[in-house]
Structure 1
């Protein structure tokens, strides 16, 4: 793990994804339940942010802080790619403390969200 390393994951959101997230969180706001004129519903912001969870799982990352800014709506059927760039790595006794920058873009290469976070990656997984 080095400063400058990048990781990415992408996802196309479905009505089923939004419905499942609504059931988990209790957020049944009309933006997420009432289709627009094109038959789409708006994806929850935190569901968009959860794309980074795939990367975190791959890295065995334990989150310490997360900060996101959402700037453009995402609707069902939209594909979003999350790119994480490592901005700092500190070696500790049993883990690495890692800081990262996140950017989320839609298929039109428009930024829909940005963020940063920090956490720990164990040195040895047993």
Structure 2
């Protein structure tokens, strides 16, 4: 898929207890709020696990990230479905084999509440 300025790309994911456990194994982030369920039986998802949503969209388009900025607004819990919308802000051919990209993103939970926003920039190696 060829990208252009203004394109909107969305991705949605529901986080599970197993996701939290796997991320603990990988990151070592085993804060009490990630391992102990709240009164509703939910665990808090690690912030950087939530941040994998926009990076998944970047990965789908072979973006090699140079910068990434995240602003977290509220916690995400196991069982939450998060929808991430990435908007291409800048896309330009830099050389014959690479393009520069800048994008912004917004992630909302199933209740329409913002949980994360930010931006990233990087390069795409063209074949």
| TM-score bracket relative to the smaller structure | over 0.9
Pick from 104, 113, 119 the counterpart of residue 122 of structure 2.
119
How many residue pairs align between the two structures?
124
- Whether 1:45 aligns to 2:72 is no
Pick from 16, 19, 38 the counterpart of residue 18 of structure 2.
16
Question: Could you tell me the TM-score, scaled by structure 1's length?
Answer: 0.95
1:60-94 per-position Cα deviation (integer Å, ceiling 9, x unaligned): 11111000000011100000011100001121111
Partner of 1:71: 73
| Whole-angstrom distance in 2 between the partners of 1:76 and 1:34 | 12
Question: Could you tell me the TM-score, scaled by structure 2's length?
Answer: 0.94
Where in structure 1 do 4 or more consecutive aligned residues deviate above 3 Å?
Answer: none
CA RMSD after TM alignment: 0.8
Partner of 1:59: 61
Partner of 1:3: 5
| Whole-angstrom distance in 2 between the partners of 1:100 and 1:120 | 11
